[in-house]
Structure 1
């Protein structure tokens, strides 16, 4: 269904016949859409109303530009306006990858409307790239190492071209197989998910955003528009999550073998420099993404961490039965 607010028109995935019950709102990650939640939505127990939004610039939602200087607030404000428009009372928020950052920002800004939060392999509360240490301190003041300049240009080109092939390691299909999941054999409908990835709007206002340069290694810094700049640590930081009231319970589910969000992420230029993949590294340490999340949640206090073995970046796709059980128990306890 389409929900039009003052901000934009948002596409929301629903399940036929499920119009009542406690609302559970699923928020997808980068280069995907709400379609990635299809099976998780259908598996919710009776008594819950499953909803999955396409964020701006993804799926069938309006391709409104992303002001990266607001961090993830363009997305989280859209989500909160959707909550208001639908009259959702005490919503359970579920966020995967970048969507985890979106729901945490929504929680930070309006905790009273949230009944529970489930984080699925979320980005660090200190963004993606350009930081070090558990406290998320900037490696350089300008956020060097983060932003749109860190995107693989061939992947961007293939995404924009709607590439459905498997001819290159950087095709969306092969990125899904190699990075979104640990074992692609577990994907029950690969074409469905690839087509969802290809709904991503490409450009300076969307993915990956406008590129900026830096005089420090590796030569890229966050710009001011688009997706990857919105998750740069100069724009997105959640230092004070523990100060909100009320503090609804948080369930943090993550795959033990995640290559994207990790203390040694293969998408972090600093870690790639340490491996020698990106030459010239001065020894910049990898961003400890998982450690940073744990540090923030330990201050928050009201959370539980569950690690799924033999699982990559997408527990809801790789171990659906276990994920669905954990989510159902969490929303019920909340």
Structure 2
């Protein structure tokens, strides 16, 4: 199914793959090189519309919504596979569209982890990678050290139970307000560096996209288990945040690919989500006194997310790391022209 072209020259499609009914945005000439855009958590392909417009003359762009996000079918994410459900869904979409050869892939935030998994599990499908503010290859929360070793034997501090329940409720309620834990405030405060101003129509579109996230144990944030270790929660088995737990997400194998795809890694120096001092790492919040009962750095060290990623990418070789000053978690929104120029510099080579 195809809907009318948007004012930006982007078409909205839905296709039945061998795995699920997938919605995706598409733009560009069918004969052009293919660029796949993979969105992050609590978002959708709607966040890429400006980027697609800027690159429409250079590529055939395919930007899917993950299962349970945007307009794609709600289908449970098997967290025990890490993000492999999502990378396999992406490969199935390419198959359904008859795209057989290697493609370039840009993954933002958790989409960066999906891009890495696609390269690991489907190495012939990925030619080059752009990783924009990607999560650590050793999961989100519950690991430490450059090798991503678990902080606790049950991976406490990661998984579906680490998400603020008030934020989850705000998504369920369709909250469009400006309360402290609303999607809109989260967008303004964490998706970008605080102080960045969205155009009004863009902000409304991004809040719309966030509110389309399927909320529950199956998709976001996922189920949870209790733990005797601080902070008292451990990963469950289903949903996105369990898929991102180091119990199940281990992507060091990217460095073992021969050859590994060339990588352009773009991140902001003011990113509060993916950082060596992430404000979404429960250990970091405990260290700052924002969560009670923190047992201390020796028992529950923080996660050096950026340093973990750098370790894996440098071991893989052929990586270019670019850091944008005064930029948060969304360089493609905050530094639009620079981001487009940097992406073109890799993908035109």
TM-score range, shorter chain: over 0.9
| Separation in 1, partners of 2:271, 2:329 | 5
In 2, distance between residues paired with 1:32 and 1:187?
Answer: 16
Partner of residue 251, structure 1: 264
**Deviation (angstroms), 1:95:** 0.3
Residue number in structure 2 paired with 1:108: 120
Residue 306 of structure 1 pairs with residue 328 of structure 2: no
Please tell me whether residue 49 in structure 1 is matched to residue 65 in structure 2.
Answer: no
Check conservation: 2:254, 2:260, Cα contact below 8 A: no
Task: Name which of 208, 216, 228 aligns with 1:215.
Answer: 228
Pairwise CA distance, 1:228: 0.5
Contact 1:21 1:49 in 2 (8 A): yes
Partner of 1:186: 197
Q: How does 1:1-334 map to 2 (within 5 A)?
A: 1-15=13-27, 18-44=29-55, 46-88=57-99, 89-166=101-178, 168-188=179-199, 189-283=202-296, 284-333=300-349
- Given that 2:142 and 2:303 are in contact with CA atoms closer than 8 Å, whether structure 1 keeps it comes out as yes
Q: Does the 8 Å contact 1:146/1:233 carry over to 2?
A: yes
More off after superposition, 187-196 vs 227-236: 187-196
Deviation at 1:94, TM superposition (A): 0.4
Q: Hey, what's the Cα distance between the residues in 2 that align with 1:245 and 1:199?
A: 39
Superposition TM-score, scaled by structure 1 size: 0.97
Is the CA contact (8 Å cut-off) linking 2:196 and 2:334 kept in structure 1? no
Aligned residues: 331
State the Cα distance separating 1:246 from its structure 2 match: 3.2
For the residue of structure 1 that corresponds to 2:342, the secondary structure is helix
**1:155 match: secondary structure:** helix
The runs of at least 4 consecutive aligned structure 1 residues that moved more than 3 Å come to: 183-186
After TM superposition, give the deviation of residue 19 of structure 1 in Å. Answer: 2.6
**What SS does the corresponding residue of 1:186 show, helix, strand or coil?**
coil
Q: Which runs of 5+ in 1 are unaligned?
A: none
CA contact (8 A) 1:111 1:246 kept: no
